[in-house]
């Protein structure tokens, strides 16, 4: 008999809650990863995120090999794979960490039911957040939809608890199932190496975070986002660390949980405005305009540099993400969902809750969003946050040769956006 621990967005051995509990079960533990074809089939063959997952699994496998164990890697739909696992092994218990996205919730319910049919017990755990679901809620039990009171409650609760436990499982590593499963190459999974790579995160550079985080030319943010997305870093460790280091940085980690909570409580936000009063906005949705935005040829250097950084590296600085998103929705009057989908394709840190939450924030359609009449002026943003043009010159080499004219004039676009929003918002 065996237990199976199913890796998903928690690709680490250290401080992994479900893995810790699996290793304390009475059966040897097979670590499993499934390349889910329901997700993979829609991705380009050189998707950099698949490469990062593969590389992270390879590192985990090397560690497991040192203790005579290995990861079992499967490819297929999760239901097909689990059916075959129940045939292949005498599975008594299944362990995984919870995932709060609508697709994952549905998938996990199906696998839990399948386990039950096969007389296996399923155990799921909170791992990717400090507070999940409705753990942070208003006095009446309803979810918060405004960030600041959510954050205050989050901090109050966190500070009232004993320091968070970190789950050190190393002393139980002998409970891994002894095995030598084949480790497939990326090509065998059906993918190719991408030249875009996830960069290492860096916590030493956030010492001046409060003052420098808005300046894209300065390397002063952590680059943690893909590591939090795929769980190569543990949120408990980070929060325990950040709480003594930097309040502004901690509040960004709380934004992450806020948007996860919004997605959990209001899954409709994936494809609908959080504020349905905004459903009447008449988007222009011009395809040519959208192409220019994607390619970074709008004539606004801050917007263009951001889109080129995204296209070249799979990353864009947060301040610039806000500028390009506002430009798409307000200056070009293109539905935020188009921008959300483009970011989803390109971002290495793409995370449904953060992406949808931030896009709706920028469009003004989300919870606790920027007011619709606030229209970022991309040139003023440039003067404020990249006044020496270091960031834009990095991504727009032709800048000094005389840059293209803006595709739409700011004052005109601003008035048009405000008028269109005003006419579209139902009162």
| Shortest Cβ 138–ligand FAD spacing (Å) | 21
- Tell me the binding residues for FAD: 209, 221-225, 249, 252-259, 349-351
| Shortest Cβ 92–ligand FAD spacing (Å) | 36
| Shortest Cβ 258–ligand FAD spacing (Å) | 8
Residue 295: count of CB within 10 angstroms of its CB: 12
154 part of the active site = no
| Shortest Cβ 295–ligand FAD spacing (Å) | 18
Instruction: Give residue for tokens 């709060």.
Output: 100
Q: CA 256, 262, 264: angle at the middle one, nearest 5? A: 105
Distance (Å, whole) CA 221 – CA 211: 11
Nearer to ligand FAD, 19 or 224 (CB): 224
Catalytic site residue from 118, 255, 311, 345? 255
Backbone region of residue 316 per phi and psi (left: phi > 0; alpha: psi in -120 to 50; beta: other values): beta
DSSP class per residue in 267-309: GGGGTS-SSGGGGG------HHHHHHHHHT-SS-HHHHHHHHH
Nearer to ligand FAD, 48 or 224 (CB): 224
| Shortest Cβ 398–ligand FAD spacing (Å) | 26
Catalytic site residue from 93, 233, 252, 340? 252
46 part of the active site = no
338 part of the active site = no
315-354 per-residue burial string, b: 16 or more CB within 10 A, e: under 16: bbbebbbbbbbbbbbbbbbbbbbbbbebbeebbbbbbbbb
**Rg for the chain, CA atoms, rounded:** 23
- Tell me the binding residues: 209, 221-225, 249, 252-259, 349-351
Helix intervals (H) in 347-409: 352-363, 378-385, 390-395
3-state secondary structure of 28: coil
252 part of the active site = yes
80 part of the active site = no
Nearer to ligand FAD, 90 or 341 (CB): 341
395 part of the active site = no
Provide the strand spans (E) within 101-193: 121-125
Catalytic site residue from 359, 361, 377, 395? 359
Nearer to ligand FAD, 3 or 221 (CB): 221
Residues that bind ligand FAD (CB under 6 A): 213, 221-225, 228-229, 252-253, 255-256, 259, 318, 321-322, 325, 343, 347, 349-351, 354-355, 358-359, 362
Instruction: Identify the bridge partners of residue 94 per DSSP, sorted by sequence position.
Output: 4, 122
Catalytic site residue from 336, 338, 361, 395? 336
Catalytic residue ranges: 252, 255, 283, 318, 336, 359
């Amino acid at each position: 008999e065996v237990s199976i621990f199913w890796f998903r967005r928690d690709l680490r051995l250290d401080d992994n809650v479900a893995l810790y509990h699996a290793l304390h079960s009475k059966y040897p533990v097979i670590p499993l990863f499934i390349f889910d074809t329901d997700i993979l089939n829609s991705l380009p063959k050189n998707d950099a995120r698949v490469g990062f997952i593969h590389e992270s699994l390879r590192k985990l496998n090397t560690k497991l090999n040192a203790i005579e164990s290995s990861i079992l890697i499967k490819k297929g739909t999760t239901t097909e794979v689990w059916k075959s696992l129940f045939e292949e092994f005498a599975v008594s218990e299944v362990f995984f960490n919870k995932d709060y996205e609508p697709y994952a919730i549905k998938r996990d319910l199906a696998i839990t039911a399948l386990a039950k049919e096969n007389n296996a017990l399923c155990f799921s755990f909170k791992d990717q957040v400090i507070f999940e679901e409705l753990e942070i809620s208003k006095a009446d039990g309803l979810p918060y939809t405004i960030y600041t009171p959510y954050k205050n409650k989050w901090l109050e609760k966190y500070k009232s608890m004993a320091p968070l436990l970190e789950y050190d499982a190393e002393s139980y590593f002998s409970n891994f199932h002894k095995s030598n499963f084949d480790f497939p190459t990326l090509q065998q999974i059906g993918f190719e190496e991408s030249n875009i790579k996830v960069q290492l995160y860096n916590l030493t550079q956030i010492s001046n975070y409060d003052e420098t985080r808005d300046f894209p030319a300065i390397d002063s943010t952590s680059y943690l986002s893909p590591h939090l997305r795929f769980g190569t870093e543990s949120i408990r460790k980070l929060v325990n660390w950040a709480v003594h280091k930097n309040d502004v940085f901690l509040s960004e980690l709380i934004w992450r949980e806020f948007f996860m909570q919004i997605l959990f409580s209001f899954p409709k936000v994936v494809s609908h405005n959080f504020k349905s009063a905004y459903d009447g906005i008449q988007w222009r949705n011009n395809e040519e305009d959208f192409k220019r935005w994607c390619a970074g040829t709008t004539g606004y250097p801050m917007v263009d540099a951001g889109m080129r950084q995204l296209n070249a590296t799979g990353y864009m600085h947060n301040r610039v993400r806000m500028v390009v998103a506002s430009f798409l929705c307000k200056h070009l009057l293109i539905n935020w969902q188009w921008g959300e989908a483009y970011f989803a394709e390109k971002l290495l840190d793409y995370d449904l809750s953060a992406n949808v939450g931030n896009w709706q924030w920028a469009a003004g359609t989300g919870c606790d969003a920027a007011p619709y009449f606030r229209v970022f002026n991309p040139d003023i943003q440039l003067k404020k946050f990249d006044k020496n043009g270091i960031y834009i010159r990095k991504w727009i080499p032709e800048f000094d040769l005389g840059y293209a004219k803006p595709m739409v004039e700011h004052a005109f676009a601003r008035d048009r956006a405000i008028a269109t929003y005003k006419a579209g918002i139902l009162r």
